[in-house]
Structure 1
Amino acid sequence: MRFLISRTPCFVLLFSALSFSAIAQKDNNNNYLDSSSNWSLHYQFTTIVQGHTGFRGAGYVGRNTLSDLPDTTLSVTTTLFVGRRLWKGAGLYLNPEIAGGRGVGHRDPSAPYDETLYNAAVGLGGFPNGESFRIGSAKPAVYVARFYMEQVFALPGAQPENIESEANHVKQQRPDARVVITAGKFSVADIFDNNRYSHDPRTQFMNWSLMSYGAWDYPANTRGYTWGLALEYVRPAYELRVAYSLMPKTANGGVLDWNVGQSGGLTVELESRYRLLKQPGTVRLLGFRNTSKAPHYADATQRLLTGTYNPDRPYIIYGDQYGGVKYGFGLSLEQPLARNSGLFARVSWNDGKTATWAFTEIDRSLAVGAFLAGHAWGRPEDALGIAGVVNGLSPEHVAFLNAGGVAFMLGDGRLPNYQTEQILEAFYKTRLTRTLFLTADYQLIDNPGYNGDRGPVNLFAIRTHVEF
């Protein structure tokens, strides 16, 4: 956190300098251009109040066991999206952000209630609040979420398409056939797996395994951002994109590893359009390969069984040498049914031998669902969503947890009755004013943390979202 805050003034100064140079551009008659249309300024504020009732526990608990006592939590994020067009095809974007609060997690049931006794955002693979993070403090913190530059090059024969001003987009005409280069700090999930019905926990489904591929250990710090370089080749019928970005130094850590020769994440995605029943659909195929200090689960399990595992510096969190490789695949479908409504599905898999290092502890995942806009009942800005998810772990991952292993999300002390984690999520979002949306959300999670001796868990949430 100190790293981000200390450099924020530098980012702002650099952004201002580049913006001033862009303002000073002249037209062909040597007149200074009006820069008002070259800016994009947007804002969002999201709060989620979420809680669960008491549920069936087990006769054993670990450091990351989801508390079976009733619990209510609050998370808050607010983001400023500033964009500036620099020259033809180029834009610079800065997103200062504030986040605070916590997600549901673990606390010692024998101790008095104390916020500091919680391990927040633990106990589940498919965590229920996409706006909460695995951080050590619930206090609001200021940081730079995104700071990147984008350059677009038109391909031969490209036709212009109008792009309206929105978050991290300046109003402009963009070629429909193009090459896009993005460099800086961003979320890899901004660029990959942009499923229109299940991608944004601020306006759509909230569960982590519905934001993106559950088994994609996408490169990011604990808040979901990284530094990287992405290249996109876009044609009207298909798109190809590739990115290389930084991995964290430790599992789900806040500090990124700049040793790019031995640590980093390579992501590749092919996106193609098709038509079914006269409706255009989209299919995406994603592959990834991450390198880091992440150790093998089998090695960590052996250390646990032989008594050579240091609980004060967990091997599964810190590793001790480079060379850990994690790879996997994802397939995503979206099929429109009507205006702003459609079906979606995702399936993802990773090798499950190397420890999860960035996102969440899911090695296999299948998700299907529907997103329905309110045109049919006379409220076009409202939306109804329902989805189901099945998450699983690799045999090596299960063996580690059953031996008493604790990673950054899971750890019940043992896992003698492994079962897939099964999730049902349903929500209704309504627009109260031009800028204010209110969402009621329900999630039912069976076998929380893949533990067949616990659950099911009923979670209820109210989400307030402001955007303009």
Structure 2
Amino acid sequence: MKVARLFAAAALLAALPLHADEAPLFVPQWLGAQYTFVDQHQDRVRSPYAGPLSLSARTDTQRSHTFGAYLGVALPAHFQFYVDVEMFKGEGVSGATGMGGLTNGDVIRSGSASLGKTPYVARRFLRWTLPLGDETDDVERAMDQLPGKEASRRLEVKIGKMAINDDFDKNRYANGTRTQFMNWALFNDVAWDFAADTRGYTEGLMVGLVESGWSLRYGIYRMPREANGSQLVPSLQRARGQQMELTLQPQKDGWALRALVFQNQASMGIYRKVIAEALANGTVPDIRADDRPGRHKYGFGLNGELPLADDGDTGLFMRAGWNDGRNESFAFTEVDRTVGGGFQLSGAHWGRTQDHLSVGVAVNALSAPHREYLALGGSGFVLGDGALNYGREQIVEAYYSFMPFEHLTLSPDLQWVRHPGYNRDRGPARFVALRAHVEF
């Protein structure tokens, strides 16, 4: 009941009128609150055999709930402080395993420890900006965004606990699982194994230079102690995830292209090494048994968006990503190569300007040693069929975003997956969901 009252109070405070120039110093402000409900059903899946992390052969229906309340404080000298409190309840179909592109981005995997279902601090960070010119933009109140005016050209720094994909790999048409695509392979670059704990957050530093028509950001963050781990390493000297992204966007609301590079250092296992040991000893390979500190993984990604009409509400998007696939998948999901894209069509064409229809397609792949590891019966943290007849994982998702009235969005969602978990012997898999999102 205390949690329910907290989120109810957040919603009421967030709904109070607040003008863009009202951000008094030292006064905490409610920036918003949200609740997202997902009811997802998985049809029966062809499954001649199964391993410890296989997509379930039986039908499965699961519900997930996420709650969030968002607070910000304006401080002197262009400093801001933000705190977000969230809570997750429910489960994902098939235990949120069995695929590289999992079907509900709001689901939290089990990880290495029981995370519980109580509220937790999702973000807690300090932000500082240094204006580089006199031109400013009006900034509206939003999650982790105080209202007011902000320099169009600026240097910005964030330090603390945050989600890396708040600042990197953003996309107008495929960026948020609570209002856009639900499949992991469509709202993020899944080959980008970014630093995060089991819930998707980490601690670190982001530095960004925002100029007219382009921006450059660099981030360094703490890695988890182990793959899909809930605990982060205590020091950046021991393990770290680094990324840099260049964004080109000549016009503020025009096309954008982003190029991302990353390198992780962590206590990871090497696929080739555990495969050789397993073949020599006649055992099943275990990537975790080879975890050693100081190992590296690197990769890159491309991300584009192209507005076409309806003030940008109709447009195209694409993503492509690659990592070396030499060391174990560690933090996000088990994908070494990915390419995808799709479109969003505004409901203005049928008299519903607040609605839109979106369709996306993604193809995921594994490196040669990763697929051989799985074929020999090895398991990661989301994949493990006990064997593997390899084929690229192919995903199609379509959803309709319907806003019956302000603050509420309903989204029926359909997903079809060929070769789930990269296995030709399994599937295809079909999923249908209804998502309700309330936001103030």
| TM-score for both structures, normalised by structure 1 | 0.85
The alpha-carbon deviation at position 191 of structure 1 amounts to: 0.4
For residue 141 of structure 1, what is the aligned residue in structure 2?
118
| Corresponding residue to 1:100 among 89, 110, 118 | 89
Cα distance between partner residues in 1 of 2:154 and 2:242: 22
Give the structure 1 partner of residue 401 of structure 2. 429
Q: Are residues 395 and 373 of structure 1, via their aligned partners in 2, closer, same or farther at CA, if it must alter by over 3 Å? A: same
What residue is the counterpart of 1:260 in the other structure? 236
Partner of 2:20: none
CA distance 1:430–1:36, change in 2 (3 Å):
farther
- Contact 1:40/1:168 (CA < 8 Å) preserved in 2? no
Aligned pair partner of 1:376 in 346, 349, 359: 349
1:321 to 292, 295, 313: 292
- In the alignment, the residues of structure 2 paired with residue 325 and residue 318 of structure 1 have an alpha-carbon distance, to the nearest angstrom, of 17
Q: Deviations over 1:301-330 (max 9, x none)?
A: 223333487x8xx85246442122110000
Pick aligned residue for 1:281 from 244, 251, 255: 255
Aligned mates of 2:360, 2:197 — CA distance in 1 = 27
What's the Cα RMSD here? 1.9
Q: Give, in whole Å, the separation in 1 of the partners of 2:306 and 2:158.
A: 28
> Residue 116 of structure 1 aligns with which residue?
none
Correspondence list, 1:58-207, <5 A: 58=48, 60-105=49-94, 120-135=95-110, 140-155=117-132, 157-207=133-183
1:460 match: 432
SS in 2 for 1:293: strand
In structure 1, the residue corresponding to 2:178 is in which secondary structure? coil
- What is residue 223 of structure 2 aligned with on the other side? 247
Q: Tell me which of 19, 33, 36 is aligned to 1:43.
A: 33
| Distance of aligned partners of 1:370 and 1:248 in 2 relative to their CA distance in 1, 3 Å threshold | same
User: Structure 1, residues 176-233: CA drift from partner, whole Å, max 9, x if none?
Assistant: 0000000000000000011010010000000001121110001100110000100000
In structure 2, the partner of 1:217 is 193
Task: Show the counterpart of 1:56.
Answer: 46
User: d(CA) in 2 for partners of 1:455 and 1:87?
Assistant: 57
Contact 1:40 1:169 (C-alpha < 8 Å) held by counterparts = no
Q: Deviation of residue 175 (structure 1)?
A: 0.5
In the alignment, the residues of structure 1 paired with residue 178 and residue 289 of structure 2 have an alpha-carbon distance, to the nearest angstrom, of: 32
Taking structure 1 as reference, are residues 229 and 308 closer, same or farther at Cα in structure 2, changes over 3 Å only? Answer: farther
Match of 2:325 in 1: 352
For 1:450 and 1:97, how far apart are their aligned partners in 2? Answer: 33
Answer yes or no: is the 8 Å Cα contact 1:398–1:418 preserved in 2.
Answer: yes
Q: State whether residues 25 and 76 of structure 2, in contact with CA within 8 Å, keep that contact through their aligned partners in structure 1.
A: no
The partner residue of 2:366 within 375, 388, 393 is 393
Q: With structure 2 as the length reference, what TM-score do the two structures score?
A: 0.90
SS in structure 2 of the partner of residue 323 of structure 1:
strand
The superposition leaves residues 219-267 of structure 1 with CA deviations (integer Å, 9 ceiling, x where unpaired) of 1001100001000000121000000001100101100112311300000
Alpha-carbon distance in 1 for matches of 2:25, 2:302: 42
2: CA distance, partners of 1:123 / 1:71: 13
- 1:351-392, CA deviations, whole angstroms, 9 ceiling, x for partnerless residues? 011101000000000011001221222211111110100000
Distance 2:199 2:412 in 1: 24
Distance 2:377 2:247 in 1: 41
Superposed displacement of residue 37, structure 1: 8.0
Which shifted more, 166-175 or 136-145?
136-145
In 1, Cα distance between the equivalents of 2:78 and 2:125? 14
Sort the Cα spacing of 1:437 and 1:343 in 2 relative to 1 into closer, same or farther, 3 A: same
User: Is the CA contact (8 Å cut-off) linking 2:286 and 2:379 kept in structure 1?
Assistant: no
Within 2, Cα distance between the matches of 1:247 and 1:431?
Answer: 39
The answer on 1:330 being equivalent to 2:305 is no
Q: SS state of the match for residue 279, structure 2?
A: helix
3-state SS of the aligned residue for 1:322? strand
Query: For the Cα contact (< 8 Å) 1:129–1:208, is it kept in 2?
Result: yes
Task: Identify the residue that residue 110 of structure 1 maps to in structure 2.
Answer: none
Q: 1:38 to 1:171 in 2, by over 3 A?
A: farther
CA contact (8 A) 1:53 1:459 kept: yes
Once the two structures are TM-superposed, the CA of residue 138 in structure 1 deviates from its matched residue by 8.8
8 Å CA contact 1:304, 1:404 repeated in 2 = no
Distance across 2 between alignment mates of 1:152 and 1:279: 22
Uncovered stretches (5+) of structure 1, i.e. residues with no partner: 1-32, 106-119
Structure 2: 5+ residue stretches without partners? 1-22
User: For 2:130 and 2:33, how far apart are their aligned partners in 1?
Assistant: 28
Counterpart of 2:44, as a letter, is G
One-letter code aligned to 1:131 = D
Change (3 A) 1:425 1:131: same
- Whole-angstrom distance in 2 between the partners of 1:323 and 1:70: 42
Partner Cα separation in structure 1 for residue 431 and residue 392 of structure 2: 18
Q: Structure 1: which 4+ aligned runs deviate by more than 3 Å?
A: 33-38, 136-139, 306-309, 317-320
